[in-house]
Amino acid sequence: MKLYALAIAFFCHFTIMAQASDFISTNVTVNTFVDGTLTFPNEAKNPSLAILISDYGPIDRDGNQNFQKNNLLKKLAEGLSSHGIAAFRYDKRIVRQIQRGRVDKTITFDDFVTDAISIINYFKNSKQFKNIYVIGHGQGSLVGMIAAQEYADGFISLAGSAKTIDTVILEQINKTVPGLVNESEKVFNVLRQGKTTDSFPPALASIFNKDTQPFMSSWMQYNPQEILKTLNMPVLIINGTKDLQVPEDEAKQLHTAAPNSSLKIIENMNHVLFTIQGDDLENSKSYNESFRKLSEAVIPTLLDFIK
């Protein structure tokens, strides 16, 4: 009786949005911070569930933000559900805040981790799914591996960095404005102590302004390689040879950190999981080209791992 009541309560949270031949898509409200879409395979009684966590920025449940519409998360979710795997994708909490015109400037990286853990627990408590896998893309890879530690049955990194965010930013600064590296290192040293500072290069205000410093401070505390070592579950690491943001070598570093993990390098795939045959200009433009299909290898690789 209790299980029946729980199942009824669980599905009462859903509003049916669309029905395809292979799956049903429904809206789900997990809590006051998380709204998303669940794609549930038709006729599946107890499928596995993939929770999709997005990359850096105010990204919505489909994988889009301003000037970047590619429907990455939607394509992943529907691709999985067409082959018997349920999938949940969601708006990052900042998306709702932007829509309401009230952005919380105190938001931190740890808030994203809290949201991911809440989602995992929500679906675990529903008793509707055989296993729960976390799939993190870009920044979502780090969020996902932290959240998955004690709560999920498996973890998949899609184009996830192997480096701390301060290391990544310093490398980018060294390539573009090497004269500002020393000043930037001083800022990171302050942030590493959980403090803020007014002393930063004006040219890098978009990175170091006072509003973003608490978020950056919480983000840089986490080393992806060290966290991945702690995961006692199946792990899959995927990257593409045309990724402009996360070189395939970083996927290999993650794999080295977790020797029991599986590694898949997909030829000609870029950061948003599209196949790129041309140059960097085509690659960059593809981020805003929703008509593109995912690399043909992505969904089969995910299915092989989950099933």
Segment 47-72 mean pLDDT: 96
Radius of gyration, CA atoms only, the chain: 19
Segment 182-208 mean pLDDT: 95
Give the DSSP letter of residue 25.
Answer: E
Of the listed ranges 17-31, 117-131, 172-186, 276-290, the least confidently predicted one is 17-31
Residue 16 confidence (pLDDT): 41
Residue 202: CB partners within 8 Å, gap ≥ 6?
A: none
Residue 43 confidence (pLDDT): 81
Residue 26 confidence (pLDDT): 96
Q: Domain 2-163+223-306, CATH 3.40.50.2300 — does that match?
A: no
Residue 95 confidence (pLDDT): 87
Residue 13 in this model has a pLDDT that exceeds 60: no
Segment 268-278 mean pLDDT: 98
Residue 100 confidence (pLDDT): 76
Beta strand segments in the chain, E: 15-19, 23-31, 34-41, 49-53, 86-90, 132-137, 154-158, 235-240, 262-266
Residue 155 confidence (pLDDT): 98
| Residue 2 or residue 31, greater confidence | 31
- Buried b or exposed e, range 212-233, using 16+ CB within 10 angstroms: bbbbbbbbbebbbbebbeebeb
| 188's tokens | 């990171």
Domain chopping of the chain, boundaries:
2-163+223-306, 165-221
| Mean of per-residue pLDDT scores for the chain | 92
Residue 11 confidence (pLDDT): 47
Residue 31 in this model has a pLDDT that exceeds 60: yes
Sorting pLDDT into bands at 50, 70 and 90, what band is 9? very low
Residue 20 confidence (pLDDT): 46
List, for residues 200-222, the tens digit of each pLDDT value.
Answer: 999 999 999 998 999 999 999 99
Segment 233-253 mean pLDDT: 97
Segment 159-164 mean pLDDT: 98
Query: Which SS3 state, helix, strand or coil, does residue 106 take?
Result: coil
Residue 99 confidence (pLDDT): 78
Residue 90 in this model has a pLDDT that exceeds 90: yes
Residue 14 in this model has a pLDDT that exceeds 80: no
Q: What percent of the chain has pLDDT over 70?
A: 93
Residue 207 confidence (pLDDT): 93
Residue 7 in this model has a pLDDT that exceeds 90: no
SS (H, E, C) 247-273: CHHHHHHHHHHCCCCEEEEECCECCCC
Segment 87-103 mean pLDDT: 86
Segment 31-53 mean pLDDT: 94
List, for residues 257-266, the tens digit of each pLDDT value.
Answer: 999 999 999 9
Residue 45 confidence (pLDDT): 86
Sorting pLDDT into bands at 50, 70 and 90, what band is 19? very low
